[in-house]
Amino acid sequence: MTLSPTERTTIRRNAKRAGTDRAQLHAILDSGLVCHLAMTVDGAPRVLPTGYGRSGDTLYLHGSTGARSLREGAEGVAVCAAITHLDGIVYARSLMHHSINYRSAVVHGNARAVDSPEEKWEALRVISEHLAPGSWEHARQPDKKELAATAVIALDLAEASVKTRAAGPADDAEDIAANEAWAGVLPLRSAWGTPVPSDDLPAGFEVPAHVTDRKEA
Amino acid sequence: MTLSPTERTTIRRNAKRAGTDRAQLHAILDSGLVCHLAMTVDGAPRVLPTGYGRSGDTLYLHGSTGARSLREGAEGVAVCAAITHLDGIVYARSLMHHSINYRSAVVHGNARAVDSPEEKWEALRVISEHLAPGSWEHARQPDKKELAATAVIALDLAEASVKTRAAGPADDAEDIAANEAWAGVLPLRSAWGTPVPSDDLPAGFEVPAHVTDRKEA
């Protein structure tokens, strides 16, 4: 049982790590920052990091790092997007049982170009609020020219898989009995640092709460 | 000028962000933890997070998260691997100038199956030392059976591109003059937490230095 019943979203290796809950998919997407977007360009696979946002069961992307890939994607071609959180390194008594604790989502589908001004506006809002929550109201919103210069694609979340590992090492009995190596998890987390004002910002401009109080990445 | 002269590694958008130094490529790879590996499966792009290691100008991968993709990759097919570090969110006065500070590497090539026992051993060593530096000497090394059950692919680093952004916001003059929004960078970093010993580890087993003293991710 996975989130969607297609062959490519049915997790076979370490199937116990497969997630089956759509809320879990949404949570992994919502707590990420960029996705890795793959598509076929000139017959070869290409993958690029790209910003995104989610609205319901639609993922919106606009390619600050891949203008060409975005044009290709806008033509309805097949794409695949992965969002990965690394939560810790799993140290086992044997090398072969070393592992990573992670939360990972993979979405498959055909990209759809977002053309209507209303949907594009909503897409840019969710992409913006995902990258920088609070900025949509605080900063200047896109004008008509900026809007026209921006390409946005949509990806339906219907076909997706989730895979997670959140556990200690799973060593072989002989290695546990030998007791010759340490075993455990070294947690990894992302943390925000202290905001650095822009050089051209007048002194005394207070850092707004949506930046200082941003919740953990 | 990029790291390699092919069309797909020539960065056109924000070309000033392109890296040209092979040492910079190595540094981005060496300080990452997983890559996102893309390949074509059943005619569609697929991307998965995968562990890796580097030896000289060869990237070695073994697919703890993608056994099928690894088999496909071992057949010499085209693959693409991206390694991305997110360093901060760039808050600008306008939404359209919001950005991300990052260091990103993308490698293109045809995967090569690693069959010789000597190269496979070296590949597993560098993958292991990349994931968990110090574990290769501390933990039990792979036995013959484990070695035979492990598939490793190699990817030449000849064709690669590097792109980085490490700067404050680049706002339009009118938005700077208006002075109506905060602008700056919220740094993002990864940090190790406190090691959590495995439940089945005898009390008093001291956490080894290669875990406690692991340098920043």
Phi, psi of A205 (to 5 degrees): -75, 110
Task: With CA atoms as reference, report the closest residue to A96 among B6, B74, B148.
Answer: B148
Least confident of A22-26, A75-79, B155-159: A75-79
pLDDT over 90, % of chain B? 77
CATH number of B7-193: 2.30.110.10
B100 vs B166: CA distance, rounded Å: 9
Q: What's residue A173's pLDDT? A: 97
Pick from B46, B99, B217: which is nearest to A188 by CB?
B217
Helix (H/G/I), strand (E/B), else coil: B26: helix
Pick from A36, A81, A88: which is nearest to B82 by CB?
A36
Using the 8-state DSSP alphabet, how is residue B208 labeled? P
Residue A44, token pair as written in the block:
């070869």
Per-residue confidence band for A46, with pLDDT thresholds at 50, 70 and 90: very high
Nearest CA in chain B to A187: B193
| Nearest chain B CA: its distance from A44 CA (Å) | 6
A vs B, Cβ pairs < 8 A, gives 302
Residue B74, token pair as written in the block:
């071992």
- Indicate the pairing of strand A184-192 with strand B196-197: antiparallel
pLDDT mean across residues, chain A: 91
CATH number of A7-85+101-167: 2.30.110.10
| Nearest chain A CA: its distance from B56 CA (Å) | 22
Q: What's residue A68's pLDDT? A: 58
Task: With CA atoms as reference, report the closest residue to A165 among A14, A23, A29, A31.
Answer: A14
Q: A56 in the Ramachandran plot: left (φ > 0), alpha (ψ -120 to 50) or beta?
A: left
Question: How confident is the model over A51-104, as pLDDT tens digits?
Answer: 999 999 999 998 543 445 555 556 688 999 999 999 999 999 999 999 999 999
Chain A residues whose beta carbon lies within 8 Å of the beta carbon of residue B84: 34, 36, 49
Question: How confident is the model over B121-132, as pLDDT tens digits?
Answer: 999 999 999 999
Task: With CA atoms as reference, report the closest residue to B86 among B203, B165, B7.
Answer: B165
Chain A residues whose beta carbon lies within 8 Å of the beta carbon of residue B186: 192-193, 195-196, 211, 214
A150 vs A191: CA distance, rounded Å: 30
Question: How confident is the model over B42-93, as pLDDT tens digits?
Answer: 899 999 999 999 999 999 998 543 445 555 556 688 999 999 999 999 999 9
Contact A49 B84 (CB under 8 A): yes
Domain-wise residue ranges, chain B: 7-193
B73 vs B113: CA distance, rounded Å: 8
Q: What's residue A64's pLDDT? A: 41
Mean pLDDT of A146-153: 89
Chain A residues whose beta carbon lies within 8 Å of the beta carbon of residue B95: 124, 128, 135-136, 139-142
- Indicate the pairing of strand A112-113 with strand A153-156: antiparallel
Alpha helices, DSSP H only, in A47-198? 67-74, 117-131, 135-138, 144-148, 173-178
Chain A residues whose beta carbon lies within 8 Å of the beta carbon of residue B99: 64
Mutation target for B interface from A90, A120, A186: give the one with most B CBs within 10 A: A186
**Partners of A55 in the beta sheet?**
A58
Q: How many residues does chain A have?
A: 217
Nearest CA in chain A to B188: A192
A211 vs B88: CA distance, rounded Å: 12
Contact B189 A193 (CB under 8 A): yes
Chain B residues whose beta carbon lies within 8 Å of the beta carbon of residue A206: 182
